[in-house]
Amino acid sequence: MNPHTHFLFPFFIALVLYKLSILSFKFAIICGLIGMLVDLDHYVEHIIHSKSNRFSLLSTWTNSIKLHRFVQRSFIHEGTGFTILTIIFMVVFLIDYKIALILALGYYSHIYLDHLWVNKPHYFRFKISRFYFKESHFAIFLDIILVISSLIVYFI
């Protein structure tokens, strides 16, 4: 999934919690940002494994979308990281349950979307300037549903 979907999914859930007066709107936005930031490990892995343009965000993006020269997901996307972060969320929960809630929502929604099995035979692929883009029809449909749902929840 692309960053905007990783934002929209936890943001929508947090927006529902905002409407239920469990979280603030600011926390809903932070929750969406956390959903996106989980993929920062792609950049770290790029710095570690890339043979050229180590610190280039464009090169990181191109490898992730088009080239796939090496796996960019680190341990935080898998079992060990999942377990460590779950323990951290539990400790944070004891300190501040709202912070733990937005951390957990952002992280678990990200992992869910990354591992969501959907048959995705059709992709839109295009290039703007030097940036490649690849988005499945399913992800576009999901984005539209999440944007419409978020607007409905926000304005009711």
Applying CB under 5 A, the residues found at the interface with Zn ion are 39, 114
Residue 71 exposure: Cα atoms within 13 Å on the Cβ side: 6
- Closest CB to Zn ion among 18 and 32? 32
Burial environment of residue 102 by CB neighbours within 10 A (0 to 12, 13 to 18, 19 or more): buried
- Closest CB to Zn ion among 40 and 58? 40
Contacts of 46 (CB under 8 A, 6+ apart): 54, 59, 60, 63, 72
Paired tokens of 119: 């048959």
C-beta closer to Zn ion: residue 117 or 155 = 117
Rounded to an integer, what distance in angstroms lies between the CA atom of residue 131 and that of residue 141? 22
Nearer to Zn ion, 39 or 135 (CB): 39
Closer residue to Zn ion, CB minimum distance, 86 or 97: 86
Ranked by CB distance to Zn ion, the top (closest) residue is 114
Concatenating the DSSP letter of every residue in 88-112 gives HHHHHHHH-HHHHHHHHHHHHHHHH
What SS3 state is found at 124? strand
Q: Which residues contact 61 (CB under 8 A, 6 or more apart)?
A: 131, 132
> What is the closest distance, in whole angstroms, from the C-beta atom of residue 20 to Zn ion in the complex?
28
